[in-house]
Chains A and B, each alone.
Chain A
């Protein structure tokens, strides 16, 4: 069941997770999220997402089988269930908790970053977290990867070649996700060089 960490605890082992190829499972292969519909006459297949009053950026989804849902990760989780892709939310209690943890990180840390230093910390932390992982939840591709990829895209697009090498694990993960079928869509493809140019990048 796990234990709460004390300050003296030690932690993750590095380097015991092989990089695995993964099956293609596009989010919307069976019609996606078609059951959520707009409340006010909209007919878009995903429902009409509008901003909430209090926080300018908070999306609201009016579903046709219940009350409206508020919040990016809440709506995204709902859409995943509508698309019958529950595996994207994690398969075990542990994986589910990890997925939700990174979804929360996305809306608090990534969306809340307001300066270069915040951005640097996010990339540094993700880089060390991803050192021994293919995806955020481990070896399985989940909603956390999708939303983190979308949230980081505008940051990654501005990185220099040197920075992409400095955050090598983030770059590797990001490159995986942008090539995952059906995820990138209209977002620009970001170029990552496979071989190191700078041997002293760290």
Chain B
């Protein structure tokens, strides 16, 4: 779910430009790539279980910042190999372990689900043909390559990562603040976690 170079104001209520966005027939607008993917899967009759929800939340909160930092190293600072992958190493191992624990071909089962699409979509700009995935994460590698061979994924990759798309991606990253490798988020004082169950 890569936030594609957001330069245009298509979502009227958001201050920051945001793409992709999906305008529904009702007039409502979805501006979260993960919510757009969820919507398409829901239309096809597939409900989301806890496992899929957990992958999607993890992708948004953990994987995205890690991938952004790695892409910044690669495309803006010209780093390569191990050095460029340092920010995502933990996240990649997490996907590999998730596949190992469930013993399934895909993240939530034996068929591809919204979780696979979202996580693959986030990782694709980093690995593209899959050849530079770490060798020691075999399950991740075979999962990534089988996702990349699906016709809709191939079509999406061809549509987005054109030479022009790659230039836009770099230009977008150059406008971003330098990502912090630690991804420490500020502490909050919210009391909600244990509150809703009395």
Contacts and interface: CB of A to CB of B under 8 A. Distances in A.
Contacts of B31: 101
B196 interface: yes
Interface in A135-155: 138, 146-147, 150-151, 153-154
A156 interface: no
A94 interface: yes
B185 A55 contact: yes
Interface residues of A, number: 70
Interface stretch (B15-23, B123-131, B138-146, B161-169): B15-23
A154 B189 contact: yes
A125 B194 contact: no
Interface stretch (B49-57, B76-84, B105-113): B49-57
A69 B51 CA distance: 8
Nearest to B35: A101
Contacts of A112: 185-186
A100 B185 contact: no
A94 B28 contact: yes
The interface centre, meaning the residue of B16, B57, B58 with most chain A CB atoms within 10 A of its CB, is B57
B22 A3 contact: yes
Interface residues of B, number: 58
B23 A11 contact: yes
Given A7-B8, A12-B12, A56-B187, A69 B25 contact: no
A32 B197 CA distance: 6
A79 interface: yes
Contacts of B30: 2, 97-98, 101
A59 B58 CA distance: 12
Contacts of B43: 1, 93
Interface in B51-108: 53-54, 56-58, 60-62, 90, 101
B157 interface: no
Interface stretch (A70-78, A173-181, A190-198): A70-78
Contact of A5 (B29, B48, B53, B188): B29
Nearest to A151: B190
Contact of B50 (A34, A59, A69, A100): A69
B153 interface: no
Nearest to B26: A94
Nearest to A81: B50
Nearest to A46: B197
Contact of A125 (B15, B39, B58, B195): B15
Nearest to A14: B12
Question: Which 8 pairs, one residue from A and one from B, show the smallest C-beta to C-beta distance?
Answer: A46-B197, A150-B192, A101-B35, A93-B42, A97-B39, A7-B8, A71-B57, A129-B13
